[in-house]
Structures are given as C-alpha cells and as structure tokens.
C-alpha cells in the first residue's frame, strides 16, 4: 500500500522543481537555457492540453502524445494555436510564445554559436511583452529578459491550468 501524498508535500515538490528550473535558466549556457526553457514551456502546454482534454487515453495519444505516429498536435506551434483557439492563452502569451519559438529556432538550427548579443536574437527579445513588463527596465540584458519571460509564462500558464476542471465526455453525462 503506497503512501498518499498530501497537497503540502506535492506543493513543496513543485516549489523545489520550480526553483531548480529557475537555477538552470540562470546557470546554464545560453543555448541550453533557450532550448530547455522552450521545451519546458512546450511541455507545460502539453500538460494543459491533457488537463482540458476528454480523458480517453487512445484519443489523447492520437492527438497529443508523440508516440509511434505523428500526433495531430505534435508541434510547439500547433499546441499554441489550439490553446489560443479555445481561449486558454491571452494575446500577449500567444505573441510571446511565438517569439520564443523564433528564438529557440535561432539557437537550435544555426551551426554557428548563437548568442543573446547577436542582433537577430536581440531583435526577437525586444518583441517580448511579458518579460519586458516584468523587468520594467529597458537596459536589462536580453538573456535576463528571456529568462524572466520563460519563467513568467511557465508560472502563469501553470496557475491557469491548475484552476481548470477536467473535460467530461458527453457520453459520460448523466441526467437524473
């Protein structure tokens, strides 16, 4: 018989994970920080989609999970679009997630080493809305703005996701 974990223990575990995530963003090299930070956001979007989806493992696997076949919503962009379609992300969140995808692509698909001092990357970072609103100082280095953006989005989407009720399949509805 397993031990049932209290919400307090779960919250402490999540707090530790969040702290480790923040430390990774701060201490990692730029390429790793961008790629892992983006993957963490994409994973958060997948978790959100799982939460609001009808709880049917075969359907979820077909639509969301990367398994043997290519899922309908396998890409970062498609996850953003479907959550936008259902009104689960704000306009600023959608905009910034798309900018983060561009930054991730700069770092992931260039053979040369990308840097937050590259003009193209600086131009992308300058388009971020949530990160700049959080730091409030236009002289903040782009890497810090990016890290604040990643962590802010991760937290905001997680808080909204935790308030969601799981979806119910119409066949599960019972009258009387």
Confidence of residue 50 (pLDDT cuts 50, 70, 90): confident
Q: Report the pLDDT value the prediction gives residue 10, as an integer from 0 to 100.
A: 41
Q: Report the pLDDT value the prediction gives residue 173, as an integer from 0 to 100.
A: 56
pLDDT, tens digit (0-9, with 9 covering 90-100), for 65-87: 655 566 666 789 989 999 999 99
pTM value > 0.75 = yes
Q: Report the pLDDT value the prediction gives residue 74, as an integer from 0 to 100.
A: 73
Can you tell me the mean pLDDT for 8-28? 66
Tokens of 56: 């049917």
Of 48-57, 61-70, 105-114, 129-138, least confident by mean pLDDT is 61-70
pLDDT, tens digit (0-9, with 9 covering 90-100), for 32-46: 999 999 999 999 998
Whether residue 14 is predicted with pLDDT greater than 60 in this model: the reply is no
Can you tell me the mean pLDDT for 51-64? 71
In our burial notation (b when 16+ CB lie closer than 10 A, e otherwise), range 21-58 reads beeebeeeebbebbebbbebbbebbbebbbbebeeeee
Q: Cα(first)–Cα(last) distance of the chain, in Å?
A: 36
Of 8-12, 60-64, 86-90, 171-175, least confident by mean pLDDT is 8-12
Q: Report the pLDDT value the prediction gives residue 168, as an integer from 0 to 100.
A: 67
Q: Report the pLDDT value the prediction gives residue 39, as an integer from 0 to 100.
A: 93
The domains located in the chain, with CATH, are 29-165 (1.20.120.330)
């Amino acid at each position: 018989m397993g031990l049932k974990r209290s919400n307090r223990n779960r919250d402490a575990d999540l707090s530790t994970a969040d702290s480790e995530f923040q430390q990774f963003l701060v201490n990692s090299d730029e390429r790793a920080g961008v790629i892992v930070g983006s993957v963490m956001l994409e994973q958060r979007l997948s978790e959100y989609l799982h939460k609001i989806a009808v709880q049917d493992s075969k359907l979820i696997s077909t639509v969301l999970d990367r398994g043997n076949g290519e899922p309908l919503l396998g890409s970062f962009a498609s996850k953003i679009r479907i959550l936008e379609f259902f009104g689960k992300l704000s306009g600023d969140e959608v905009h910034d997630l798309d900018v983060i995808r561009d930054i991730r692509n700069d770092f992931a698909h260039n053979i040369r080493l990308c840097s937050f001092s590259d003009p193209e990357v600086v131009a992308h970072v300058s388009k971020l809305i949530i990160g700049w609103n959080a730091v409030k100082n236009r002289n903040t280095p782009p890497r810090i703005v990016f890290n604040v953006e990643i962590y802010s989005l991760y937290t905001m989407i997680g808080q909204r996701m935790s308030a969601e009720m799981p979806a119910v399949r119409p066949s599960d509805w019972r009258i009387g």
